[in-house]
Amino acid sequence: MTTASLDHPRHPQIHAAPGQAHPTARALRRPHLSPREIEVLLQWLRCDSKNEVAAGLFLSIGTVNTHLARIRTKYRDVGRSAPTKAALVARAVQDGLIELHEL
């Protein structure tokens, strides 16, 4: 009997080769976001518009866009592309910056 046959048939477990880390155990590379970038990101994830973020943080819409562009670039540079708001939500949750119930 194989290991996979003991697992759920539709969701077989993935096992690492001897001497290698389990694929899901590998640490995600996190970009270095500044405190202000984190603040802008989290505010944007909780708001409906960039205009709300700008008003709430006393920034121009251009500054909000610049922060978000830099955040996306930093995620891309570590191999974790985040081209959409949904992708940024996923990255923020994965990195422990926010939990789903906070959205």
State pLDDT tens for residues 56-98.
999 999 999 999 999 999 999 999 999 999 999 999 999 999 9
Predicted confidence (pLDDT) per residue in 37-50, tens digit: 999 999 999 999 99
Question: What pLDDT sits at residue 15?
Answer: 46
Q: Is the pLDDT of residue 14 over 80?
A: no
Sign (positive/negative) of CA torsion 8, 12, 14, 17? positive
